[in-house]
């Protein structure tokens, strides 16, 4: 489970985030490039919070698909 205490600093403020467990598999970056970006080391961060139901569903799907549970939603 992702930890809001371990969010990577590049995340934009909001309820969805990526923490430091990310291994850089790039799945979220490929599936939702409008939401997830790549850090210099290839790991991910949330570059834009979702603004539509479709984008929220994309984020929730990526939470389910993340192989190391590095994507979270803290309900902020």
The CATH number of residue 10's host domain is 3.30.70.20
Position 76 confidence tier, pLDDT thresholds 50, 70, 90 = low
Beta strand 16-18 with 71-73 is antiparallel
Q: Quick check: 29 pLDDT over 60?
A: yes
Q: Give the pLDDT of residue 75.
A: 73
- Per-chain mean pLDDT for the chain: 96
Domains: count for the chain: 1
Chain segment 39-54, per-residue pLDDT in tens: 999 999 999 999 999 9
Q: Tell me the sheet residues that pair with 38.
A: 44
Task: Give SS3 for 65.
Answer: helix
Whole-number pLDDT of residue 5:
96
Do residues 44 and 18 make contact, with C-beta atoms less than 8 angstroms apart? yes
Residue 69 pLDDT exceeds 80: yes
Structural domain including 42 reads 4-73
Q: Considering the entire predicted model, what is its pTM?
A: 0.94
């Amino acid at each position: 489970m992702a930890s809001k205490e371990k969010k990577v600093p590049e995340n934009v403020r909001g309820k969805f985030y990526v923490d430091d467990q990310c291994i850089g598999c790039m799945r979220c970056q490929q599936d939702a490039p409008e939401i997830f970006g790549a850090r210099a080391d290839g790991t991910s961060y949330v570059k834009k919070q979702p603004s539509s139901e479709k984008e929220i569903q994309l984020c929730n799907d990526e939470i389910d698909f993340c192989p190391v549970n590095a994507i979270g939603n803290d309900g902020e």
